[in-house]
Amino acid sequence: MTGTVGERRPAGELEASVLAALCAAGRAQSAAEVRAAIPQKLARTTVATLLTRLYEKGAVGRTPGRRGFLYVAVADSHGLTARRMRQELEQDDDRSVVLARFVEGLDPADEAELKRLLGGGDH
């Protein structure tokens, strides 16, 4: 769907790519280093904008570097997914209904795992 020239990629796809690069690096990186590590060919300013947005969302941390900021992922990809799930839940006034609908949509294996986690306290 994003193979056509001039067609925009979903922001989530680009953010995921940037986060994956930061997680894989295991250390703070500049926007230029992140740009070199991701498969998409993006302008440096686009990567810098994505990093700023991720920082504002709390998904990455940053510290001043020699030229701009150095960025680091604040959690692994699983932690970031869990954070997005919590953010979605917080956007609805009736959390009980949202959670009920979520559980209704789980496949049996995921439902069993959720029950195990909630019942056993094993995280």
Does the pLDDT at position 52 exceed 90?
A: yes
Q: Is the pTM of this model over 0.75?
A: no
* Contact partners, residue 29, CB within 8 Å, separation at least 6: 21, 22, 37, 70, 71, 72
Question: In the predicted model, what is the mean pLDDT of residues 90-116?
Answer: 92
Provide, rounded to the nearest whole percent, the portion of the chain with pLDDT above 70: 88
Q: State the average pLDDT over residues 100-122.
A: 87
Bridge partners for 118 per DSSP: none
pLDDT confidence tier of residue 97, bands split at 50, 70 and 90: very high
Question: What are the backbone dihedrals phi and psi of residue 66, each rounded to the nearest 5 degrees, phi first?
Answer: -65, -40
DSSP annotation of 29:
B
β-pairing verdict for 60-64 and 69-73: antiparallel
**pLDDT one-digit tens code per residue, 8-45:** 556 578 888 899 899 899 899 999 999 999 999 999 99
Mean pLDDT score of the chain, rounded to an integer?
86
pLDDT digits (tens, 9 = 90+) for 71-91: 999 877 787 778 778 888 888
- For residue 4, the model assigns a pLDDT of 47
pLDDT band with cut points at 50, 70 and 90 for residue 2: very low
- The conformation of residue 89, written as its DSSP 8-state character, comes to H
